[in-house]
Chains A and B, each alone.
Chain A
Amino acid sequence: MIDDTETQENREYWEYEPSSQPPYLTPNYKSTVIRSPNKPQYKLPRTLTETTGPLFTQDDLVADEYDLSVNAKGDAAIGSLMVMDGFVTDEDGRPAANTLIELWQANSAGKYHHLMDTRDAPGDPNFIGAGRAVTDSEGHYRFMTIKPGAYPVPNSGNYWRPPHLHLSLFGRSFMSRMITQCYFPGDPLNELDHILHGVPDVDAKERLIMTFDPVVGVHEHALGYRFDIVLRGRRATPMVG
């Protein structure tokens, strides 16, 4: 299959602006202290290994995976219905088409569908909290879900994670692979969150907070939030030599 983006494949990738990404060692986020490498990272030539990667299409999805708010049998999850809607682009504003987005989250009580989440909050039998979408040719995606609850982090002195959604994206290659989290505007816990505040650059941090946007919601049914994602991309001008 030939599309416009393929003519871009051999262009050079931008390197990450360090302040736009959280450093591995973020002492307030305690477990980074023994999991962040001590040694500097080595340069990796950007070869075919890095400029290729797994690609996905709509055909990889099962019907309605974008909708987390009902289970397979059609039973409704408990919580405030919300739409998450946005565009995925690369750094130069080109749409990231056919990009797989995986979403996972806690239920409205702040509990994950996971054996290791043993805290005393109720599970919701109608909410698994996992969904997938593939962007269209404009880079557009949309999820229907319920707003997750905040949850306390064990043995942390009553530190609570703000409501957040986890997102995993592939883009066109190994170079654009990333996993992130997004947050709700105006939540008082955002200010106190060690993971969100691990990002040094103020603008980069703010871009992880969704925008309340009634236009992308569903009238008298679901609130709307807009969240745009920028993946690492290639320079607009091909490198010569």
Chain B
Amino acid sequence: MMTDSKTTPSAGQTVGPFFNYALLRDGDNDLTSDGKAVGEIIIVEGQVIDGAGGPLRDVLLEIWQANAQGRYNHPADAPANSGDRELDENFRGFGRTLTDGDGCYRFVTIKPGAVPGEGNQWQAPHIAVSIFAAGLTRRLVTRLYFPGEDANDADPALSGVPEEDRMRLVGDVAEGSDNTVRFNIVLQGDGETPFFED
């Protein structure tokens, strides 16, 4: 056993307010390789709100997701368990952006397919979200689900959230656009977004 040599992980610390010149490059919020990725192109956008009800600027948001077939671009999603889900060379699945002066963010991506869960379960299409900001001592983790998906009802992660709060993890269809999903993130208080253990 290697337990005697186990060390606890290094402590996280806030990202602070002054990171964007180091962590962000043009195009980091577009996951589609200029539209070449296979699948339905969608816009994911929203606003980050703090406990005082105001918009929060300079929040670093990162998303990680499977491609349109539900395959992750990573060796852990190996051919042996991937079935007929195939990789898309134009889709890496990782994006980054920060909120603007109005607390707003926007990603251009592909609607992910359903992905395997534990055992023989399947997970509803979803996007994993990491949130870093000044005033957050470490990362917050949440997930975005899609409106109108029957699979949401049986999703193992969504099922762990009290029923009255589940809808806060399901994006809204934006008015006047059939490919835009609105997903606001409320850090604290009224309408607080459900966050998962990191």
Which A residues fall within an 8 A CB radius of B? 1-2, 6, 9-10, 14-17, 20-24, 26, 29, 31-39, 41-45, 47-55, 89, 91-93, 102-104, 106, 112-114, 116-117, 128-131, 166, 168, 173-174, 177-181, 195-196, 198-199, 201, 203-205, 207-208, 229-233, 236-237
Contacts and interface: CB of A to CB of B under 8 A. Distances in A.
A161 to B, nearest CB: 9
A44 B157 contact: yes
Contacts of B15: 166, 168, 179
B133 to A, nearest CB: 7
A158 B135 CA distance: 18
Contact of A52 (B21, B77, B118, B134): B77
Secondary structure type dominating chain A contacts: loop
Interface string B1-40: 1110111111111111111111100000000000000000
Contacts of B107: none
A35 B135 contact: yes
Interface string B110-135: 00000111100001001010101111
A166 to B, nearest CB: 6
A45 B197 CA distance: 10
A178 B10 contact: yes
Nearest to A231: B9
B93 interface: yes
A32 B118 contact: no
A42 B195 contact: yes
B45 interface: no
B170 interface: no
Contacts, number: 247
B128 A50 contact: yes
Nearest to B194: A42
Contact of B22 (A24, A91, A104, A237): A104
B29 to A, nearest CB: 14
Contacts of A129: 21-22
A15 B56 CA distance: 29
B120 to A, nearest CB: 13
Contacts of B116: 47-48
B12 A93 contact: no
A29 B137 CA distance: 9
A114 to B, nearest CB: 4
A179 B139 contact: yes
A71 B136 CA distance: 31
A37 B18 contact: no
A52 B14 contact: no
A116 B19 CA distance: 11
A51 B76 contact: yes
Contact of A23 (B16, B134, B137): B137
A168 B23 contact: yes
Contacts of A42: 157, 160-161, 194-197
A14 to B, nearest CB: 8
A22 B11 contact: yes
Nearest to A53: B64
B12 A22 contact: yes
Given A54-B64, A92-B2, A44 B141 contact: yes
A205 B13 contact: no
B140 interface: yes
B83 to A, nearest CB: 12
29 contacts: A16-B8, A16-B9, A21-B137, A22-B12, A32-B136, A36-B188, A43-B197, A44-B196, A47-B123, A49-B123, A49-B143, A52-B73, A54-B73, A91-B6, A91-B7, A104-B23, A130-B22, A166-B22, A168-B15, A177-B139, A178-B139, A179-B132, A179-B138, A180-B10, A181-B13, A181-B16, A204-B11, A207-B11, A231-B9
A9 B196 contact: no
Nearest to B93: A54
A156 to B, nearest CB: 13
Contacts of B14: 29, 179, 181, 195
A165 to B, nearest CB: 11
A114 B21 contact: yes
